[in-house]
């Protein structure tokens, strides 16, 4: 980021003398930001619920141009990465800022493989959950609990500890995700296999059993890898901001990522992929689409088209385009091109994209619109969808956390616009 202001904004407040001078910084890409820090000394706060016009940090990792529908990781467009790269290479890029050489890549892949197992005691921890627990509840608990198992890498001021923790998290998340599933269906946990790549290994731990050989389909593994890539990072979204806020207190990284997982769970964020399938099931048939479009447009009806709209993208989400293509490939491989839910989703998308309400508000499909259909086709149960989002998002969370901890940072402590009672005296209960 530019260290010197490119210009100044001057704020004049009615009835007050003088101006407040606010530095304006020019980013390498995107919208300039006004530094409102000097306001604190002038007796005013800024007010921006939902952070609609507020940059919460400076960052060099990911850039989104929501109007143009562009997503760059360390400068590389997501569609190029999705076509030519793979998830672990993207993890390396996010963590280190540059694409790896052959040697660096081989070392990184081997390091991640050596960290995929979880402490044996963690299996005991799983057994404390009810079998019907939501896997996101399990994941929040288990990831938070990792801080009780890996004491040797919890010094957040030591870059080597931070590096090991990043590797551990990226390596262990698929193992924990698959264990959450195995626990819910009462099957034995499957140990990771180092002869498989990242996505193959995940599918093996999900669907393999000790009873027979499980052959991983290369098309499904490639789709899974791409899905992880499409979720890898997305700058300062709600869960990443949660990770940063928790991290700003000096909390350990496992606790911070657990906080991010909790934030991701909501249906307005990572829970949307689960919500899309529930919505498609509720709509049921193409003939009902018009009724649901009407509901979505009715300001008195809380119904929304899930998987549509985005705070930042006011154009087609570039991840949704890749996801749509991946969806077609997966359904073809599985011989279910005629999937009724895919047909329903496509029709819904087409109608919404032509409807004035959606056009005016610039509401387009987001990454979640098609991911659920792919997951369902692969055989992943609906309540695991957000768990897979969390698995894919882990390198983003940990890179963003590391970026913050590596530089000067302050505890995140927003202020408020107070609307409650002014000071008043306590009234004894007999006099109320």
Smallest distance from the beta carbon of 293 to ligand ACO, in angstroms? 9
Select the residue interacting with ligand ACO from 22, 223, 296, 380 (CB under 6 A).
Answer: 296
Smallest distance from the beta carbon of 288 to ligand ACO, in angstroms? 16
Smallest distance from the beta carbon of 195 to ligand ACO, in angstroms? 33
> According to the binding rule CB under 6 A, does residue 304 interact with ligand ACO?
yes
Q: Which residue is nearest to ligand ACO (CB)?
A: 309
Select the residue interacting with ligand ACO from 108, 125, 202, 308 (CB under 6 A).
Answer: 308
Q: Which residues contact 62 (CB under 8 A, 6 or more apart)?
A: 71, 72, 73, 74, 94, 233, 234, 235, 396
**Total residues at interface with ligand ACO (CB under 6 A):** 18
- 163 versus 304: smaller Cβ distance to ligand ACO: 304
Burial class (CB in 10 A: 0-12, 13-18, 19+), 32: middle
One character per residue 336-365, x = contact with ligand ACO (rule: CB under 6 A): -------------------------x-x--
Q: Which residues contact 109 (CB under 8 A, 6 or more apart)?
A: 88, 197
Q: Which two tokens stand for residue 55?
A: 């940059």
- 123 versus 268: smaller Cβ distance to ligand ACO: 268
**The Cα angle at residue 59 between residues 56 and 65, in degrees rounded to 5:** 85
Which segments of 266-382 does DSSP mark as H helices, in order? 272-283, 289-297, 318-333, 340-354, 356-360, 368-378
Smallest distance from the beta carbon of 85 to ligand ACO, in angstroms? 21
- 53 versus 268: smaller Cβ distance to ligand ACO: 268
Select the residue interacting with ligand ACO from 119, 193, 269, 314 (CB under 6 A).
Answer: 269
User: Helices 385-406 and 159-185 meet at what angle, rounded to 10?
Assistant: 170
Residues 186-200 as b or e (16 or more Cβ within 10 Å = b): eeebbebeeebbbbb
**The Cα angle at residue 412 between residues 140 and 154, in degrees rounded to 5:** 50
> According to the binding rule CB under 6 A, does residue 295 interact with ligand ACO?
no
Please state the φ and ψ torsions of residue 24, each to the nearest 5 degrees. Answer: -110, 125
> According to the binding rule CB under 6 A, does residue 309 interact with ligand ACO?
yes
- 201 versus 366: smaller Cβ distance to ligand ACO: 366
Active site residue 310: yes
Applying CB under 6 A, which part among 192-200, 214-222, 299-307, 376-384 lies near ligand ACO?
299-307
Smallest distance from the beta carbon of 268 to ligand ACO, in angstroms? 4
- 242 versus 366: smaller Cβ distance to ligand ACO: 366
One character per residue 362-381, x = contact with ligand ACO (rule: CB under 6 A): -x--xxx-------------
Cross-strand partners of 7: 24
CB 193 within 8 A of CB 204: yes
Neighbours of 303 (CB within 10 A): 14
Smallest distance from the beta carbon of 386 to ligand ACO, in angstroms? 10
Active site residue 368: yes
Give Rg (Cα) of the chain.
23
Active site residue 234: no
CB 318 within 8 A of CB 77: yes
Q: Interface residues for ligand ACO in 272-291 (CB under 6 A)?
A: 272
**The Cα angle at residue 333 between residues 344 and 83, in degrees rounded to 5:** 90
The secondary structure of residue 337, as a DSSP letter, is T
CB 172 within 8 A of CB 111: no
Smallest distance from the beta carbon of 316 to ligand ACO, in angstroms? 13
Would you name the residues annotated as active-site residues? 269, 310, 368
Q: Which residues bind ligand ACO (CB under 6 A)?
A: 268-270, 272, 296, 304-311, 361, 363, 366-368
């Amino acid at each position: 980021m530019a260290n010197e202001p490119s210009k100044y904004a001057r704020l004049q407040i009615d009835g007050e003398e003088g101006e407040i001078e606010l530095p304006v910084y020019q980013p390498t890409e995107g919208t300039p930001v006004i530094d409102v820090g000097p306001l604190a000394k002038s007796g005013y706060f800024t007010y921006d619920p939902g952070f609609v016009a507020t940059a919460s940090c400076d960052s060099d990792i990911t850039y989104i141009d929501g109007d143009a529908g562009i997503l760059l990781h360390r400068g590389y467009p997501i569609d190029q990465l999705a076509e030519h790269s793979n998830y672990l290479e993207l993890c390396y890029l996010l963590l280190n800022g540059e694409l790896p050489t052959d040697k660096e890549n081989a070392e990184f892949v081997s390091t991640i493989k050596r960290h995929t197992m979880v402490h044996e005691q963690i299996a005991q921890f799983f057994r404390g959950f009810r079998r019907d627990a939501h896997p996101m509840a399990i994941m929040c608990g288990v990831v938070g609990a990792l801080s009780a198992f890996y004491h040797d890498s919890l010094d957040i001021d030591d870059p080597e500890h931070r590096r090991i923790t990043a590797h551990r998290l990226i390596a262990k998340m698929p193992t924990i995700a698959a264990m959450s599933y195995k626990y819910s269906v009462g099957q034995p946990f499957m140990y990771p296999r180092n002869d498989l790549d990242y996505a193959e290994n995940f599918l093996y731990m999900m669907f393999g059993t000790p009873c027979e050989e499980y052959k991983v389909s290369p098309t499904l593994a490639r789709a899974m890898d791409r899905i992880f890539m499409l979720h890898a990072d997305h700058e300062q979204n709600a869960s990443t901001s949660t990770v940063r806020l928790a991290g700003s207190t000096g909390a350990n990284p496992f606790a911070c990522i657990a906080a991010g997982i909790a934030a991701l769970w909501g249906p307005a964020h990572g829970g949307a992929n689960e919500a899309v399938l529930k919505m498609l099931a509720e709509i049921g048939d193409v003939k009902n689409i018009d009724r649901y479009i009407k509901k979505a447009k009715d300001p008195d009806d809380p119904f929304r088209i899930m998987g549509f709209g985005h705070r930042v993208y006011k154009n087609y989400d570039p991840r949704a385009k890749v996801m749509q293509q991946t969806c077609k490939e997966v359904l073809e491989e599985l011989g279910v091109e005629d999937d009724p839910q895919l047909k329903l989703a496509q029709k819904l998308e087409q109608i919404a994209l032509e409807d004035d309400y959606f056009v005016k508000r610039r509401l387009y499909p987001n990454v979640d619109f098609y991911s659920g259909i792919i997951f369902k086709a692969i055989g992943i149960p609906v309540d695991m969808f957000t768990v897979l989002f969390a698995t894919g998002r882990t390198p983003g969370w940990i890179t963003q956390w590391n970026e913050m901890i590596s530089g000067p940072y302050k505890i995140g402590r927003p202020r408020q616009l107070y609307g409650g009672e002014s000071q008043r005296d306590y009234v004894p209960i007999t006099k109320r």
